[in-house]
A and B are shown apart, each in its own frame.
Chain A
């Protein structure tokens, strides 16, 4: 483009030192705004802090745990909390605190990996269905309907009973059968967003479909997606616990919060060793609650339209 001579010289002499600076600073300032907004939300911040503690404890479990999670002291079964066993011991005399730490690794891994899968599949299917509409939309949504038609937990139980129950199987099964809600949500967002004028405007400047879908429309839908992702993590951790509780998830002796609860379901244990079912249950509750708080906070923070 040809510019008036005067403008070029003025522009270059005055602003060129700033331009490089600007390129480097830009992404930072964008995240800065989101970060500041997030920090103002007390509930979200406390949720994040709790999550960081839990994740940190899971990562550093070998350093923190006072005992090996598999070390059995059969003479010291169902011991109440004490200095040596801060959260007591289980029916085989294993340290509950250590087992909770290692169990967090399993539960969080299942949560994060499965949700990454759920969100990827759900977003791609939903985005394609919502943007293109018509026959493509109909076909994809009928597939979603078919999957939704099966009662989820029974489907999981059946599949895991047929396949070998293991951590990998759990993750794959969760990812393959839980993306339908996300797909519907993303489709709904895309249906309203694709008719917005900025999409037409992007098309008039020659931007291709793939780019419009993923770099123009998707960022507008990122808020709801993040919120479902955090809710999904909670759901997956809970589902993993449920399956482990039923003996179909993570197999002992590998500890997970779910199979610890399962081991504690004996009536006499519940009656006389309250610490054994209490702490795994509490961990599940706190973790899921924290994920939900963080999700809410992120949604508000990442939406540039929402003013503080």
Chain B
């Protein structure tokens, strides 16, 4: 499969008065056309900053991409001017957010917001943009699209607003959709519907999804490949059908164990002790060492590198150093 997005050694740092915070610290990420990849990690692991870096929307002042390349096909997004980036956003890459309740402008009607994107990126006139907006709303599952288009966001429920956001994101048939925790704020039944919708749409339009989430249920529903991030770094990468059965990195293992199950004996829910180390005081060894249950001497002294274990899998952990040498 052809590669769509290719991130190499991305470093997004925040410069504060006294120290530098490496929010994203050397991330390599590849995304093929039509593929759905999940970026998983705790709060503060750098997954949202990775997505904002792709969009060129790192919060300023303070945040900056200090190193690395973000290639969307043949274009290096980090080198584009703000003007050119505006043409990429919404057209080539679009994004949906965690909070559908606040991501729509409360004083503009649904129609105005949709029509604006369509006229802006496709250069069509208003009347045909309105027509297109209605079609889009029907595609994302509104039966009364003609009425919805005149409504203000406060009249819609969370699930409906997320559908509108999806319609807006898909309006220009982007190559890449970044979904930043698209279902976190929705209730479970709506979550399933939204996931189903995303799945169908991406299949139909051949859009790749970069799914950012901490919900492993959503991951197993949608993604083909999983990338686990911890403290600004990728710690493990694996296909979806392998990672749940056989996680390599102790952190991934911990994440999977901390999901409550409905089957089997009810035990106390597993939790990974401690917190993500503060990005301004990272240890010199493995960043997960202080919370790892398999920690040994070397972890505290040396920083592990991301090693590929097989074609499709790689892990950043000394536990697998020997195995690799054996192979």
Contact = CB atoms under 8 A, between A and B. Distances in A.
Contact of A1 (B90, B145, B169, B173): B173
Nearest to B155: A304
Contacts of A133: 61
Q: Is the interface of B mostly helix, strand, loop or mixed?
A: helix
Interface residues of B, number: 52
B111 to A, nearest CB: 7
B149 interface: yes
A23 B127 CA distance: 7
A203 B168 CA distance: 13
A223 B30 CA distance: 47
B95 A204 contact: yes
Contacts of A207: 86, 90, 116-117, 120
For chain A, give the interface size range: 35 or more
Interface in A173-219: 196-198, 200-208, 215-216, 219
B131 interface: yes
Contacts of A205: 89-90, 94, 117, 120-121, 168-169
Contacts of B109: 26, 30
Nearest to A10: B138
Contacts of B134: 11, 15, 19
Contacts of A4: 204
Contacts of A196: 102
Given A203-B57, A206-B90, A216-B108, A22 B150 contact: yes
Interface string A251-283: 000000000000000000000000000000000
B138 A11 contact: yes
A76 interface: no
Given A1-B205, A22-B149, A201 B126 contact: no
A8 interface: yes
Nearest to A14: B146
A26 B102 contact: no
A129 B296 CA distance: 53
A84 interface: no
Interface in B48-100: 55, 57, 61, 85-91, 94-95, 97, 99
B146 A22 contact: yes
26 contacts: A1-B170, A1-B171, A11-B134, A22-B150, A26-B111, A197-B103, A198-B103, A198-B106, A200-B57, A201-B95, A201-B103, A201-B104, A203-B57, A203-B89, A204-B90, A205-B90, A205-B94, A205-B169, A206-B121, A207-B90, A207-B117, A208-B86, A216-B105, A219-B105, A219-B107, A304-B106
Interface of A: 1-4, 7-8, 11, 15-16, 18-20, 22-23, 26, 29-30, 133-134, 196-198, 200-208, 215-216, 219-220, 222, 303-305
Interface of B: 55, 57, 61, 85-91, 94-95, 97, 99, 102-109, 111, 116-117, 120-121, 126-127, 130-132, 134-136, 138-139, 145-146, 149-150, 152, 154, 165, 168-173, 204-205
